[in-house]
Amino acid sequence: MEIKSLYEEYKQYFNVGTCVGVPHFNGNNTETELIKKHFNLLVAENCTKMMYIYRGLNDFNWKEGDDFVRFCQENNKLIRWHNFVWHAQTAPWIFLKEGVPVNMKDFFQNNINPADYASKELIEKRLQHYIQTVCDRYKGKIYSYDVVNECISDKLFALRTREDHSLWQEVMGPDYVSKAFLWAREADPDAELVINDYNLETIPQKRQAMFDFVKEQKSKGIPIDTIGLQMHINIFDSVPFIEETIEMFGKLGVNVIVTEMEISLYRFEEKEKKIIDADLLKVQADKYYECFEVFRRQAQKGILKDVVLWGVQDNHSWKNDFPVPGRGDAPLLFDKDGKPKPCFNAIVK
Ligand code: G3I
CB-ligand 1 contact for 192 (6 Å cutoff): no
- Please compute the mean of the pLDDT values over residues 247-269 and round it to a whole number: 98
Whether 1 has a pLDDT exceeding 80, the answer reads no
DSSP assignment letter at 284 = H
- Flag whether pLDDT at 28 surpasses 90: no
- Specify the pLDDT at position 321: 98
On whether the CB atoms of residues 35 and 7 are closer than 8 A, the answer is: no
Query: 102 falls in which pLDDT band (50, 70, 90)?
Result: confident
Query: What's the rounded Cα separation, in Å, for the pair 43 and 77?
Result: 10
pLDDT at 110: 85
Q: In the prediction, which pLDDT does 15 show?
A: 98
Centre of ligand 1 from the C-alpha of residue 22, in Å = 12
Nearest alpha carbon, ligand 1 atom 22: 46
**109 φ, ψ (degrees, to nearest 5):** -90, 10
Q: Kindly report, residue by residue over 270-301, the tens digit of the pLDDT.
A: 999 999 999 999 999 999 999 999 999 999 99
Q: Is the pLDDT of residue 261 over 90?
A: yes
Q: Which helix (H) or strand (E) holds 38?
A: helix 30-38
| Active site members | 150, 260
- From 18, 202, 318, the mutation candidate for ligand 1 (largest count of ligand atoms within 8 A of CB) is 318
Query: What pLDDT, on the 0 to 100 scale, is given for residue 103?
Result: 84
Helix (H, G, I), strand (E, B) or coil at 229: strand
pLDDT band at 27 (very low <50, low <70, confident <90, very high): confident
What pLDDT, on a 0 to 100 scale, did the predictor assign at position 148?
98
